[in-house]
Structure 1
Amino acid sequence: MKKYTALTLIFFMIFSISFGQTKKEKKAAKSLKEYEQMKEVISGEAYDFQAEWATTLQGRRINLTSNANFMRIRKDSANIYLPYFGQSSSGGVAMTTNGGIEFSGLMQDYKVSYDDKKQKIVVQFNANSKNERYQFNMTVFKAGNTIMNVNSNYRTGIKYEGNTRKPKQE
């Protein structure tokens, strides 16, 4: 009897090992699921970006967790406030009263491209305020981790790192 119990136990162990998912397969499945969820968020044309770090062109890295900042995308419009740390080449003409990157209005040349192999999403658009033109280039990774580069016609470029999420219900 003990012999059959031992054989049955060995059989089930071999069966579960041969047909179960490996850690690598489970990780790949989880990664794909996170990427597909982020694709749904971006393609839904309503998402928010919250920056945690800003890196200037000179390499200075600034923690933004205690600074107010946001980017809200809703269909063809954007509402943006991001703190800015860098240099202005216009003598301050284009700067807002607090020096941040501020924009509220229609986006131009909005493009989204999906790289399924590398599981990343690239979002690009332009925004024109009264005195300044901005180019936004976001790379959104599977779990919402995002790197965004912002270029301007009057300021040095700046990079923001943070998270992109589905908007909270208002």
Structure 2
Amino acid sequence: MKSILKYGAFLLLLVVAACATGRNNATPEEIAELENLISNQRFEIRATWAQPMASQGLNSIANAGLLPPGSTASRIDITGATAYLRVVGDSVMADLPYFGERRMGGYYNQDKAGIKFEGIPENLTFEPLKKGDGKTMSFTIDQDSEGFQVYAQLYPNGNARITISSTHRTNIWYQGNFREYEEEK
């Protein structure tokens, strides 16, 4: 009985220690850098993973072996693709690959198969995250006949998560990193 109590106490201590170290404890420098990037409104998020909504179509593509190595139907490696969301001044632009299903009719344009938009967004806001350090950016933007609702969670350690809802397609999420945007020469 004593050994069970010892192992139970040890297991409880291990769980408490694991939970305590899993918290996001950003340094004041990281928080200040995040605030600076947001106030300058000149940053970009480079997506490395796409997370589409699971569907029978995506499962069929994954089962056929048509996804990049290490990818599944619900998590696709896009590190080799052009995949970004930029905020430059009062404008936003995105070029993100899209994996999912179109829900509304429309024409097929090979140049616009991904999520692409550029312009001045409506209702651009930055708010503190509900849990932990970081900010949530949200806005809406229309491109041609399609509308997008965009949420991005920005963390002081440089990680970011983007959620995009479309008027024509199923939702998709992206994970990646953000940094100050520097124009390519």
Q: TM-score range by the shorter chain?
A: 0.7 to 0.9
Query: Does structure 1 residue 112 correspond to structure 2 residue 108?
Result: no
Partner of 2:28: 32
TM-score of the superposition, structure 2-length normalised? 0.71
8 Å CA contact 2:96–2:114 kept in 1: the answer is yes
Task: Say which of 177, 180, 183 aligns to 1:163.
Answer: 177
> How far has the Cα of 1:96 moved from its partner?
5.9
Which runs of 5 or more structure 1 residues have no equivalent in the other structure? 1-23
Query: Does structure 1 residue 151 correspond to structure 2 residue 147?
Result: no
User: Which amino acid in structure 1 is aligned with residue 37 of structure 2?
Assistant: V
User: Which amino acid in structure 2 is aligned with residue 136 of structure 1?
Assistant: V
* Aligned partner of residue 157 in structure 2, secondary structure: coil
Measured in 1, the distance between the counterparts of 2:94 and 2:36 equals 22
> How far has the Cα of 1:147 moved from its partner?
0.6
User: Which amino acid in structure 2 is aligned with residue 83 of structure 1?
Assistant: P
* Aligned partner of residue 97 in structure 1, secondary structure: helix
Task: Say which of 70, 75, 82 aligns to 1:61.
Answer: 75
Partner of 1:124: 138
Measured in 2, the distance between the counterparts of 1:130 and 1:103 equals 9
Measured in 2, the distance between the counterparts of 1:71 and 1:109 equals 17
User: Which amino acid in structure 1 is aligned with residue 162 of structure 2?
Assistant: M
Measured in 1, the distance between the counterparts of 2:90 and 2:144 equals 18
Partner of 2:6: none
> How far has the Cα of 1:154 moved from its partner?
0.6
> How far has the Cα of 1:131 moved from its partner?
1.1
Query: Does structure 1 residue 74 correspond to structure 2 residue 88?
Result: yes
* Aligned partner of residue 119 in structure 1, secondary structure: coil
> How far has the Cα of 1:98 moved from its partner?
4.1
Measured in 2, the distance between the counterparts of 1:87 and 1:153 equals 12
* Aligned partner of residue 143 in structure 1, secondary structure: coil
> How far has the Cα of 1:42 moved from its partner?
1.3
Q: Once the two structures are aligned, what percentage of the paired residues are identical? A: 26
Measured in 1, the distance between the counterparts of 2:180 and 2:96 equals 19
Query: Does structure 1 residue 46 correspond to structure 2 residue 42?
Result: yes
Count residues in correspondence: 144
Select the structure that is richer in strand. 1
User: Which amino acid in structure 2 is aligned with residue 44 of structure 1?
Assistant: N
Q: In angstroms, what is the RMSD of aligned CA positions?
A: 2.2
Q: Which runs of 4+ in 1 moved over 2 A?
A: 91-98, 114-117
8 Å CA contact 1:57–1:86 kept in 2: the answer is yes
Partner of 1:10: none
Which is greater in Rg? 1
Query: Does structure 1 residue 101 correspond to structure 2 residue 115?
Result: yes
